[in-house]
Amino acid sequence: MTSPSIFQPLSSDWIIRGGFDSKSPKRFQQFSMRSVTNKLSGFSLSKSDAACTFRVLSSLQINPNVPQTTESESALILIRHGESMWNEKNLFTGCVDVPLTEKGVEEAIEAGKRISNLPLDIIYTSALIRAQMTAMLALTQHRCLKVPIIVHSETEQARRWSQVYSEGTKKQSIPVVKAWQLNERMYGELQGLNKQETAEQYGKEQVHSWRRSYYVRPPNGESLEMCLGRAVTFFKEHIEPQLLIGRHVMVVAHANSLRSIIMYLDKLTSQEVINLELSTGVPMLYIYKEKNFIRRGSPLGSSEAGVYAYTESLAMYRQKLDGDIQ
């Protein structure tokens, strides 16, 4: 099945169901550098960029060619970034690159405490600083004490200059992969405008339609359907193969890119997804087992015990952490 461009109308059936067909498990089992060069929603990586990404992940011991098993389970953690400076000012942010507020920093640290007992092998963030800050701050609280290292694969020189040569250091590191496909929905000409003032100018119904309709685009911006096209395609092509080989993954992104991914994971309808609310800085946990996603966390929990129903393997991991620290 051919992947449509993100600028063409997309069928949610293609993304959620048809885009993941009976041949997908075989394709994932053959995951290699070839899949890094695949087209993502009409955007192709150059062969040199794909080769750089492949070598960087391999150098950090994230080997795309590791033999895969369906017997194990993997943890998937989703976190919306902490409060940004434009969240605080009630401005449409979209793809404008603004940092966290003091409250956002605190939310990121609190998120880190809540995931501190969960295993992590690799982190994916958007290309925007608020998501990257959240990921880095969260990792400062993790009990594994591993150091997050941003993967630089923009050019061959960037890869060489950021290479780690100590095997011991690699084992104490977690690669962080940035992807523009995980960016927030692009709000077009609304970016930078005050939400309340925009509602007064254009009417609450019109602004609500721009913000929460699945198909409607704000002026020169993306619809949620278009955002889903790039975010879910990236998830299926890059993140799901990591889960399939038993890697534990954290994704730190934005309200609409995460809504899109959750629509795929939970098989939500276009009406259900537009009503999905995601709080800033609150982790959600999924278990990936036998090619199925099982939600184990509620965003409403106020404590680790209230949020996560541990599986046996996660409980064993925490037990190991307790033993290592004692």
Q: Is 81 annotated for ligand binding?
A: yes
Q: Is 281 annotated for ligand binding?
A: no
As given in the structure block, the two tokens for residue 140 are 């400062």
Cα–Cα distance, 49 to 159 (Å, whole number): 10
Q: Is 320 annotated for ligand binding?
A: no
Q: Which residues are catalytic?
A: 81, 184
Q: Is 211 annotated for ligand binding?
A: yes
Strand partners, 80: 253
Q: Is 143 annotated for ligand binding?
A: no
Residue 45: other Cβ atoms inside 10 A? 16
Residue 23: other Cβ atoms inside 10 A? 9
Q: Is 84 annotated for ligand binding?
A: yes
Q: Is 114 annotated for ligand binding?
A: no
Q: Is 184 annotated for ligand binding?
A: yes
Q: Is 23 annotated for ligand binding?
A: no
Query: Tell me, what DSSP letter sits at residue 180?
Result: G
Report the SS3 class of residue 11: coil
3-state secondary structure 74-114: EEEEEEECCCEHHHHCCECCCCCCCCECHHHHHHHHHHHHH
Contact 273, 256 (CB under 8 A): no
Q: Is 94 annotated for ligand binding?
A: yes
CA angle 300, 78, 70 (to 5 degrees): 115
Q: Is 93 annotated for ligand binding?
A: yes
Q: Is 160 annotated for ligand binding?
A: no
Distance set, CA 105 to CA 81, 137, 206, 248 (Å): 9, 7, 33, 24
Which residues are annotated binding-site positions for substrate? 80-87, 93-94, 130, 184-187, 195, 211-212
